[in-house]
Amino acid sequence: MTGEWARGRERELISAVLSALRESIKIPDWDQDVVVDIYNDTQRVIPPKGSSRYTRIEIGLYLGRTMEAKRALYRAVVHHLRALDVPENDIKTILIEFPLRNCAPHGSVAASDIGDLGYSIVV
């Protein structure tokens, strides 16, 4: 979720988030699912000291990443968004973790019923 500054730069923002995910928690290229939501000033409330570039990144992921992997993800998000002129203090990253049984990544089969997801979630 971000503001009007990102309109017309959605692909850059998506690329920045994907790069952060690939570098830090090693998601494979085939497992990408990123959406950009842009709101004007009347559609969002940001922290009092936030600028017009305030950006919230919400990432849904399977349980299992180490705290160090999460820290690496936070750093990577900041690094890549900084290249888009988003100040570090204007970035909020929220991880929403869920067990394998709570996701069906390819239709009707729960991730917990898939023998090999094709990548490790323990990084």
The CATH number covering residue 64 comes to: 3.30.429.10
* pLDDT in the model for residue 108: 95
- Could you tell me the CA-to-CA distances from 16 to 1, 9, 27, 111, 119 in Å, in that order? 14, 11, 14, 26, 21
* pLDDT in the model for residue 34: 95
Q: Which long-range contacts (CB under 8 A, 24 or more apart) does 110-113 make?
A: 111/62
Tens digits of residue pLDDT in 74-100? 999 999 999 999 999 999 999 999 999
Establish if 55 belongs to a structural domain.
yes
Beta bridge partners, 71, equal: none
pLDDT of 115 > 90? The answer is: no
Report percent pLDDT > 90 for the chain.
88
> How many domains are contained in the chain?
1
Mean pLDDT of the chain: 95
Establish if 13 belongs to a structural domain.
yes
Establish if 121 belongs to a structural domain.
no
pLDDT of 31 > 90? The answer is: no
Domain that holds residue 17: 4-113
Establish if 41 belongs to a structural domain.
yes
Q: Are 18 and 56 in contact (CB under 8 A)?
A: no
Mean pLDDT of all residues in 1-11: 97
